[in-house]
Structure 1
Amino acid sequence: MAPHSSSPPEPVEGARASARRSQQHRGRRTPRRAAAGRRSFSSSLKALEALAQSGAQVSVHVADLDSGDVVLSGDDHVALPIAGLGVVPVLIETAAGLETGRIDPLRIVDRTRAQFVAGSGLWRSLRAPALPMVDLAVFAAASGDPNAANALLDVVGHDQVRARMVSLGMPRSAVLDRFRDKRGPDDAPHVAVGTTREFSRLFAALVNSTVVNAAVSVQVSEWLSLNQDLSLVASATGLDPFAHDQDAHGLLFINKTGRDRGVRAEAGVLGGPRAGISYALTVCFDDLSINHRLRAHEAFRVLGTDLMEYVH
């Protein structure tokens, strides 16, 4: 893969303004680098290369919001399991239904015990057996609640989500199934699969208000700004996991993560005083020990550090 090159960009007022609105309301090829010097992503390259050499599947795509230049990429066309990151297209279809009036925001949805996911999430710990659509969207975005995500998917429809992803230019990515405690032989092997190229571009489009329309983009960005999982790439930002939608130091940030056994994925947008950037990273690894897991997590944190250096 031939390297790209680019000069350090200036801040993107359009992307930053859009992000501000949202706050208010086993391929194993080595990644390649584009930016030179201080913002070369050399640390990320080293960490991701080490993961790939250890047998992990690594896919990454990082692009500058101003120029659109790809500053870091590797196997970004390969569709890999992304777990809860697949909730983002479901949120987009939900916001589109709310915006057109097809879905009542206060429509009450019951937890269906027959397909209740008991292993994770907040809704399972609540006494309320039913919640309105808008609250389920908040749960799905903020905590990755599997039952909330399943409820949204049931209402908006799997076929509609699939069609929406194609219309958004995501032909290699797909939401395959609902969340389950156990996957049987008749179930899809994963909740969702996706390419880092498509998800990085999706997040860039969200902050630029071009996903469906401005209203939908702002609504989804607002939901995602509540995400409390800042333990991977976002761990380098120093943001408060519970209140990071109005950072005192001017960081603009939205993200979504995905976690499963041997799967870690994250996509998002980070904006700072010098630049804005969209990113996506997926690592599939043999989760044989805590050290294997921590090595994968460390690669996400290294990328986060390089992203912070890029935008500051």
Structure 2
Amino acid sequence: MPESIRRRARSEREEIAPRGRRSEADGDGVIFRKGFASLTELALSGVQVTACAVDTASGKVLFSVDDHLSVPTASIGKVLLLIEVAARISARDGSGSAPGAVPPVPGSAAGETGPRTVRPAPGAEALSILNRTAQDSVGDSGLWQHLQVPALPVSDLAALIGATSDNLATNVLLRRIGLDAVRARAESLGLRRTLLLDIVRDIRGPDDAPQLSVGSARELATLFRALERGEVVDETTSRLVTGWLSLGSDLSMVGGAFGLDPFAHTGPDHGIRLFNKTGTDVGIRSEAGVVVGPRAGVAYAVTMRFNDVDLPARLGVLEAMRTLGTDFLEYVY
């Protein structure tokens, strides 16, 4: 192959590579090298990558790839609904009276003495009973569609969303809360590129929003850092949301690198604590979360858009996300 053609091919590959940056050193050398290389390889194969990682203590951006872009994030937008629900519980039931979990001390190992999960007596708003209707019905993720109980308290529906990204619970809560209220809350938090656009639908028609939610990696990472620091609306609201998200059972993406029990990681395990929210759709894998270890904490958001034509394509995306998770683990542990 002539050298001019080689140079042109190299130039084309560089043009489609992710426009990212990473912190060059943290005292031990270059960080996030494996993750950045893995994402670059995916981008060169045609995968759209957006990502951002922020130190939870300093707010310093550690890693970013096209983090300003607003892209489809599947179920991650449900976090905005949980924030609005938590804010209403906090406001109506009074600070400290809403059910939630106080996160353990960052870096404490499983079994060590420290703050334990606390669930105060639930208030009236948290125990308001909501019925499901035929109009709320939807398939895919979640447990409630498989249960016989026709009605559940608001706080239980929020827990189902945090644990299993429950679509039916999402639609029932949205019928109670309203999309306009969720959008107003997002705007009040300074979110401009991160939105919950619609209810969950089995089929999206021409008159429906084309996606359930969209978001930018920078805004999502910043939002999750604020949740960790108790700064979203207020401390009680933040702790309610992180308590629900700590129930999340999907560790198939970035969270798969942390070695945690998918069904039981509400407290620290070997000094690692995690809360996260994932989003899955055809050709989309997305995750935002916070992982805290003995040395540091990272708030992160990663979204991959890819041609989901075969299993190897999907497995390559998931492997790259776990590789990035391994880099996060090395930073915090």
TM-score by length of 2: 0.83
Determine which of 25, 31, 36 is the counterpart of 1:40.
31
Are 1:75 and 2:96 counterparts? no
Are 1:31 and 2:20 counterparts? yes
Report the Cα distance in structure 2 between the residues aligned to 1:64 and 1:118, rounded to whole angstroms.
37
Match of 1:198 in 2: 219
Match of 1:256 in 2: 277
Percent of residue pairs identical: 47
- Offset of 1:182 from its aligned partner? 0.8
Match of 2:240 in 1: 219
Between Structure 1 and Structure 2, how many residues are aligned?
286
Determine which of 37, 55, 59 is the counterpart of 1:64.
55
- Offset of 1:178 from its aligned partner? 0.8
Are 1:139 and 2:160 counterparts? yes
Question: What amino acid does structure 1 have at the position aligned with 2:65?
Answer: G
Deviations 1:195-232 (A, max 9, x none): 01001001100010100000101111111111111111
- Offset of 1:115 from its aligned partner? 3.7
Report the Cα distance in structure 2 between the residues aligned to 1:115 and 1:129, rounded to whole angstroms.
12
Aligned 8 A contact 1:85 1:258 in 2? yes
Match of 2:103 in 1: none
Report the Cα distance in structure 2 between the residues aligned to 1:234 and 1:166, rounded to whole angstroms.
28
Q: Which structure 2 residue ranges, 5 or more long, are not aligned?
A: 1-15, 94-123
Equivalence map 1:165-176=2 (5 Å): 165-176=186-197
TM-score by length of 1: 0.88
Are 1:93 and 2:84 counterparts? yes
Determine which of 201, 214, 227 is the counterpart of 1:180.
201
Determine which of 45, 55, 67 is the counterpart of 2:46.
55
Question: What amino acid does structure 2 have at the position aligned with 1:227?
Answer: G
Match of 1:20 in 2: none
- C-alpha RMSD of the superposition: 1.4
Point out the structure with max Rg over C-alpha: 2
Deviations 1:233-264 (A, max 9, x none): 11111011111112341212111100011111
Q: Structure 1 residue runs of 4+, over 4 Å off?
A: none
Report the Cα distance in structure 1 between the residues aligned to 2:175 and 2:48, rounded to whole angstroms.
31
Are 1:305 and 2:326 counterparts? yes
Aligned 8 A contact 2:141 2:165 in 1? no
Aligned 8 A contact 2:194 2:216 in 1? yes
Q: Which structure 1 residue ranges, 5 or more long, are not aligned?
A: 1-26
Match of 2:290 in 1: 269
- Offset of 1:30 from its aligned partner? 3.5
Question: What amino acid does structure 1 have at the position aligned with 2:273?
Answer: L
